[in-house]
Amino acid sequence: MTDRKPIAAWLTDMDGVLVHEGEPVPGAPEFIGRLRASGVPFLVLTNNSIYTPRDLHARLTRLGFDLPESAIWTSALATAQFLADQRPNGTAYVIGEAGLTTALHAAGYIMTDFEPDYVVLGETRNYSFEAITTAIRLINKGARFICTNPDATGPSNEGALPAAGSVAALITKATGIEPYFVGKPNPMMMRSALNKIGAHSESAAMIGDRMDTDVLCGLEAGLHTILVLTGIATKVDVERYPYRPSRVISSVADLIDEVEPLTPVPADAPETPAA
């Protein structure tokens, strides 16, 4: 294997890496604090499209994290950016919460059930049979089918809940149309995040707790991948997949001392001669 460039940008999943079962992972607030103090570009990623960055910022602040809204990148934001790039100022019929509708409005999209360009499916705690039926009929009439993320289930205190991936499968069964998933493990999520912070894959790292989303997504986007054992995956799980992360560590606390401060270019530094 060739030697990789030093890590100059960091992407990290949120649940299972920074937060676990509603509590901060030990050392995680310090890791984020080190990233902020270093000046190194970074983003916190989540496939959950329910919440806006402001919602997540408030949640993380209560847990002791010093993290600005601008450092949070959700599948809803990635989906909105994707659609704005594909079809600027388009229309969409949306099943989802404020995180998704707010992102689409900000991207210039109009929400409508009259001949929309897209049906966009996201996460919600209250999937409506009526809304799903409308989505099926619109897709049958030609609307393009987009889903924020492929997660089949989500957690709750009472147990697993059906998530966007499960509802997407229902709609696909009824229409014969597969959605385009924007969130992890689609490397689109990684690339959009890297573009947001002006980073390059060859010198960036993705930290996650899942082999099938975080590690796979980072791998396919060309990033250095770091699996932590504070969430879903275990050491045994690593051996079950045909691909491996670059590293397996106990938690993000192990990375605090590896965050190197961003070295500023001196104001009087000579310019590099043009080739």
209 is catalytic: no
Q: Reduce the DSSP state of residue 11 to 3 states and report it.
A: strand
Which amino acid is residue 83, in one-letter code?
A: L
Of 13, 117, 209, 214, which residue is the catalytic one? 13
Nearest-angstrom CA–CA distance, 44 and 27: 15
Query: What one-character-per-residue DSSP string does 92-141 give?
Result: EEEES-HHHHHHHHHTT-EE-SSS-SEEEE---SS--HHHHHHHHHHHHT
Region at 237 (left for phi over 0; alpha for psi -120 to 50; beta for the rest): alpha
13 is catalytic: yes
Of 15, 117, 209, 214, which residue is the catalytic one? 15
Query: What one-character-per-residue DSSP string does 182-242 give?
Result: -STTSHHHHHHHHHHHT--GGGEEEEES-IIIIIHHHHHTT-EEEEESSSS--HHHHTTSS
- The answer to whether residues 192 and 225 touch, using CB atoms and an 8 Å cutoff, is no
Partners of residue 54 on adjacent β-strands: none
- Catalogue the active-site residues: 13, 15
